[in-house]
Each structure stands twice: as C-alpha cells, then as structure tokens.
C-alpha cells in the first residue's frame, strides 16, 4: 500500500477527483483511441450526408463495452455541426416500439415532444418527413441497442418506415445506423424480406479491447479524472485485469469511479488495492444494472419470481408469475425469451424420464445481486 502524498487525510472540502464526470458510463471522451478503422468505416458511411445525399445504412456490432455508442456519438457530434444535416440517436432500450422511436425523432427535429395521445403514427411520420423536405435536411438516425426492437417484434416495422420514407415523401433522405451488442442475434435474417431488400447495410465490427488497449484507455481517464498521484500503476493494472476478465470497458470506467469514492470514504488521498477490490464487487454488475434499468414492470416481476423459483421448471415459474400479474402464458413465454436473450436469465431445455423435454429457468447472476438492483 502506497503512502498518502502530503500530510494527513482528506479534509471535508477536498476530493481525489479532478473531474468525476470523466468516469460516467455515457461520457464521450475528447480522445478516442484504438478504434481508428471503425471510425474510418463509419465516416465513409456518413460522408454522403455532408453532400446532401442519403447516408449509407450501417450495421454496427460488437460485445458490450467496446466503444460502439461512443464512436457514433463522436461522429454525430461532428456531423451535427454541418448545415443541412440532422442526427438523432435513439436508445431502443428505452424507446422499444416504432411509435416511441419516431416520437424521439420528432422531439429532436421539432425540439418539443409530440402529444402523448391522439396523434396517429401516420400523422407523426408525415410531420417528420414534411419538415425534413421543407428544411432540405438529411437525417441520420442511430438505433442504439436495436436488439430491443427485435425482442419486442418492432424491428421490421421501425426499419421499414425509416428506409422507405422516400417512397412516402418524395425528397426525404434518411440513413440508418443500427447498433447491436447481441452477437447471437442475426439481424438481417430476423427482418422481413421486404426490409432486407432495402437495408443491405455496411458492416462495422467492434472487437473486445485487449489488455494493453484497456490500460491505455483507463490511464487516459485517470489523468483527466483524478488528481495527480491518486492512483498508482499496480492499482491501475488490477483495474485493467478486472476489466479484461469482464470484456466490458464500462466495468473498468465504473470501477475507477467507485474506487475513488471508496478512497474518499476512508478520507484517503490515494486509491489503494482495497478500494479497487471493494469497488469491483459492485462494478462487475454494470451490464446487469443497465439491463434491469430498462425492464418493464411485468419483466421485473418475472425476474423476481425466477429468483424465488431459481432452477424450477418453466411451468412452476409461470404459475407463480400468473398469480402475481394475471398475464397469460403467451406473454410469459415472450418475456422469458427476451430475458434469456438479454442474458439476465437462462432458459434451458432438458430431458426428464417419463416427461420428455421440459424447460428449466434460472438466473444468470447471483440472486442477491439481481434483487438488490431491481
């Protein structure tokens, strides 16, 4: 354990942080290293917008925490300064229906929310495309976490409306970027054939960062986020190791923030190994926390029931879920499939003698960790 620089402990008005916002998960850094080829590919796809043409449709894929959203946000930030171009990023974990997606687009274009009721999708869609043509603007839409649209069976209708906008309104120019962290999802294959025929996206893949890249990125964050000498090389290496094990850079970024807060709780001027290890107990669940945040009430109730009946057959879980919510088996089955695809639960088929195939349902995480975050 390193000695604290200077004398004594932190006073009430002192902090180890130079800029705590640097450690927020959705912070867009000034420098974005180790994704040069992906940025080039995305720029290539978006460049036609600057010339007044429709951007190339693009599919961005990769595991969670590999820089996909950050890359798109950085380029949208640059593109948004160009005249005649409008950019909209939609978080499909929050806006998981076609109407919700277009409501978000409407809000960005008109700078106020559409009425919450009484306006049809056709009218909402028409107002958006009319304004784009009237203002002679190109629209680039990023559907972030597009896998949630697939889980809700909304992807085909949403993409179809965006991609065929020029057919409904002559002169409308819309390009679509879809971002997915679900590598098991075959995006193209899951779309209706009519949408497949007009989508044909460029593909950009974001692999996991290797250990050296993780160390470099986290070192940059610590320089901007912590005061000098707050964290040493051994502690940073341990953070990088935990991050590499998880495969998710967001774990490391969140871990640095929590370790700093833990050091402050001890009134220490430095982050020590005990701070890192204590912080990791919470930071390792970053992906789980983000998944749970976006769940509906019935989905959260199903997670609670699965925690109680962990490992039980699907029928027993359904009976308990139905008693709590009154929802039928069809909706229950849809929710099970969605939570399974999200990696929150594991639904497995097994052979039971005399019964044939049956499905058992269990949590993919420690039950206490899940329940604490619901």
Binding site members:
66-70, 209, 221
Domains of the chain listed by start with CATH number: 36-205 (3.40.50.300), 210-292 (1.10.8.60), 295-372 (1.10.10.10)
Identify whether the C-beta of residue 327 lies closer than 8 Å to the C-beta of residue 298.
yes
CA-to-CA distance for 163 and 24, rounded, in angstroms? 34
Binned at pLDDT 50, 70 and 90, residue 35 comes out as very high
CA-to-CA distance for 293 and 362, rounded, in angstroms? 20
pLDDT digits (tens, 9 = 90+) for 91-126: 999 999 999 999 999 999 999 999 878 899 999 999
Mean local confidence (pLDDT), 300-329:
93
Q: What's residue 6's pLDDT?
A: 46
How far does CA 105 lie from the centroid of its chain? 18
Q: What's residue 348's pLDDT?
A: 86
Identify whether the C-beta of residue 269 lies closer than 8 Å to the C-beta of residue 286.
no
pLDDT digits (tens, 9 = 90+) for 112-169: 999 878 899 999 999 999 999 999 999 999 999 999 999 999 999 999 999 999 999 9
Q: Tokens in use for 119?
A: 């306006």
Distances (CA, A) of 367 to 35, 229, 233, 310: 36, 38, 34, 8
Q: What's residue 355's pLDDT?
A: 60
| Exposed/middle/buried for residue 82 (C-beta within 10 Å: 0-12, 13-18, 19+) | middle
Q: Which of 39, 169, 60, 94 is nearest to 103 (CA)?
A: 94
Spatial neighbors of 363 by CB under 8 A, at least 6 apart, are 303, 306, 307, 310, 344, 345, 346, 370
Give the other-Cβ count within 10 Å of 234's Cβ. 13
Binding site members for ATP:
66-70, 209, 221
């Amino acid at each position: 354990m390193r000695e604290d620089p200077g004398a004594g402990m932190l006073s009430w008005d002192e902090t180890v942080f130079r800029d705590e916002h640097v450690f927020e998960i959705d912070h867009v850094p000034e420098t974005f290293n180790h994704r040069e080829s992906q940025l080039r590919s995305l720029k290539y796809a978006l460049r036609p917008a600057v010339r007044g043409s429709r951007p190339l449709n693009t599919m961005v894929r990769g595991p969670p925490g590999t820089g996909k959203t950050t890359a798109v946000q950085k380029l949208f930030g640059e593109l948004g300064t160009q005249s005649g171009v409008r950019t909209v990023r939609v978080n499909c974990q929050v806006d998981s229906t076609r109407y919700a997606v277009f409501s978000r687009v409407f809000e960005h274009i008109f700078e106020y929310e559409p009425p919450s009721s009484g306006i049809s999708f056709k009218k909402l869609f028409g107002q958006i495309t009319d304004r784009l043509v009237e203002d002679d603007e190109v629209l680039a839409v990023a559907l972030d976490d597009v896998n949630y649209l697939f889980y809700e069976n909304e992807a085909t209708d949403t993409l179809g409306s965006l991609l065929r906008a020029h057919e409904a309104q002559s002169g409308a120019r819309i390009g679509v970027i879809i971002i997915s962290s679900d590598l098991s999802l075959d995006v193209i294959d899951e779309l209706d054939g009519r949408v497949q025929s007009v989508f044909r996206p460029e593909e950009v893949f974001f692999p996991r960062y290797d250990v050296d890249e993780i160390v470099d990125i986290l070192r940059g964050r610590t320089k901007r986020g912590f005061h000098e000498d707050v964290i040493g090389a051994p502690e940073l290496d341990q953070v990088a190791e935990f991050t590499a094990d998880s495969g998710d850079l967001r774990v490391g970024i969140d871990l640095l923030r929590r370790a700093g807060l833990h050091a402050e709780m001890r009134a220490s001027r430095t982050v020590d190994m005990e701070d890192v290890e204590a912080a990791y107990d919470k930071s390792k669940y970053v992906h789980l926390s983000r998944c749970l945040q976006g769940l509906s009430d019935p989905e959260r109730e199903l997670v609670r029931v699965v925690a109680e009946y962990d490992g039980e057959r699907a029928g027993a879980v359904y009976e308990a879920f139905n008693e709590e919510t009154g929802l039928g088996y069809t909706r229950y089955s849809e929710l099970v499939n969605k939570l399974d695809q999200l990696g929150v639960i594991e639904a497995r088929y097994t052979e039971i003698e005399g019964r044939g195939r049956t499905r058992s349902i269990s949590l993919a995480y420690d039950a206490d960790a899940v329940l604490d975050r619901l």
